[in-house]
């Protein structure tokens, strides 16, 4: 049995819990840093990245989250969660948790297209994944170790660096669970590698 956590400081927590459900998986709602010790993978939901950063500090999650990722445990950041993971945020002096080697641009779609829904082709998942974008960020640059898994109109919207996964959109807001299940499989593989 593996345990996957959803960081519950802000955002659509319950929807993520539902999308992660799998027969061999227990989902934990993470509200305290100590809970990171009992989980094998973690999701950072969307929301508002500046507020999230503040809550991460307030509840003393900053270093424990960095240590969690450094230990090789899979992390999946969605929308504002992706912003938290990036090493660089355009227009800001520094990144937040700086887990993934990439530059992101916040609110990259502007007012005209603040929210929209589309179908994305995500490498390793499917070519028709339903994606809801809400005041979404874009990945403008990735480091050498980062693999681009999906683009929307030639802009990067899904990327992976080893055990770290991030996307610009909200996969938890549709009934399409395939992308979450891809992350569940990443956690399964990371856990199997530890247990050999
Ligand atoms: N615009 C938000 C930010 O910059 C992210 C939006 C979202 O998570 N839906 O933090």
Annotation marks residue 172 as catalytic: yes
Give Cα 78 distance to the centre of its chain.
4
| pLDDT at residue 192 in the model | 86
Q: How far does residue 29's CA lie from ligand 1's centre (Å)?
A: 21
Q: Report yes or no: 139 and 104 within 8 Å, Cβ to Cβ.
A: yes
Q: How far does residue 194's CA lie from ligand 1's centre (Å)?
A: 34
Q: How many domains does the chain have?
A: 1
| pLDDT at residue 193 in the model | 87
191 by DSSP, 3-state: which?
A: helix
Which of 7, 50, 109, 137 to mutate to test ligand 1, by most ligand atoms within 8 A of the CB atom? 137
| pLDDT at residue 8 in the model | 97
Sign of CA dihedral 8, 12, 13, 16: negative
What residues make up the domain containing 12?
2-194
Task: Examine the pLDDT at 112 and tell me if it is beyond 90.
Answer: no
| pLDDT at residue 64 in the model | 98
Nearest CA owner, ligand 1 atom 4: 106
State the alpha helices, DSSP H only, in the chain: 13-20, 49-58, 62-70, 80-85, 178-194
Give the predicted TM-score (pTM) of the model.
0.96
Q: pLDDT of 119-173, one tens digit each?
A: 999 999 999 999 999 999 999 999 999 999 999 999 999 999 999 999 999 999 9
Residue positions in the annotated binding site for L-glutamine? 47-49, 106, 134-135
Phi then psi for 73, rounded to 5 degrees? -80, 135
Task: Examine the pLDDT at 196 and tell me if it is beyond 80.
Answer: no
- ipTM confidence: 0.94
Query: What lines the ligand 1 site, CB under 6 Å?
Result: 46-49, 79-80, 83, 106-107, 134-135, 137
Task: Examine the pLDDT at 11 and tell me if it is beyond 90.
Answer: no
Which of 77, 114, 110 is closest to 96 using CA atoms? 77
Q: How far does residue 133's CA lie from ligand 1's centre (Å)?
A: 10
Which of 191, 100, 189 is closest to 149 using CA atoms? 100
Residue 119 contacts by C-beta under 8 Å, 6 or more apart in sequence?
Answer: 128, 129, 130, 131
- 125: domain CATH number is 3.40.50.880
Residue 87 contacts by C-beta under 8 Å, 6 or more apart in sequence?
Answer: 95, 98, 99, 100, 101, 102, 103, 143
Q: pLDDT of 87-103, one tens digit each?
A: 999 999 999 999 999 99
When pLDDT is cut at 50, 70 and 90, the band that residue 195 belongs to is confident
Q: pLDDT of 53-80, one tens digit each?
A: 999 999 999 999 999 999 999 999 999 9
Task: Examine the pLDDT at 180 and tell me if it is beyond 80.
Answer: yes
Which of 164, 131, 143 is closest to 43 using CA atoms? 164
Which of 80, 140, 169, 171 to mutate to test ligand 1, by most ligand atoms within 8 A of the CB atom? 80
Q: Kindly give the number of the ligand 1 atom that is closest to the alpha carbon of 46.
A: 8
């Amino acid at each position: 049995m593996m345990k996957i956590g959803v960081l519950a400081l802000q955002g659509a927590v319950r929807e993520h819990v539902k999308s992660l459900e799998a027969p061999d998986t227990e989902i934990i709602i993470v509200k305290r840093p100590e809970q990171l010790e009992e989980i094998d993978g973690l999701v950072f939901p969307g929301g508002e990245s500046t507020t999230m950063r503040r809550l991460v500090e307030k509840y003393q999650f900053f270093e424990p989250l960095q240590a969690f990722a450094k230990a090789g445990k899979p992390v999946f950041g969605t929308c504002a969660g992706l912003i938290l993971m990036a090493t660089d945020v355009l227009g800001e002096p520094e990144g937040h948790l700086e887990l993934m080697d990439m530059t992101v641009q916040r609110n990259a779609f502007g007012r005209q297209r603040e929210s929209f829904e589309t179908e994305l082709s995500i490498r390793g998942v499917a070519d028709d994944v339903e994606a809801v974008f809400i005041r979404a960020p874009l990945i403008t640059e990735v480091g050498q170790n980062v693999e681009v898994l999906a683009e929307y109109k030639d802009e990067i919207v899904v990327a992976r660096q080893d055990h770290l996964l991030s996307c610009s959109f909200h996969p938890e807001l549709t009934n399409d669970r395939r992308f979450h299940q891809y992350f569940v499989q990443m956690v399964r593989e990371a856990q199997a590698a530890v247990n050999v």
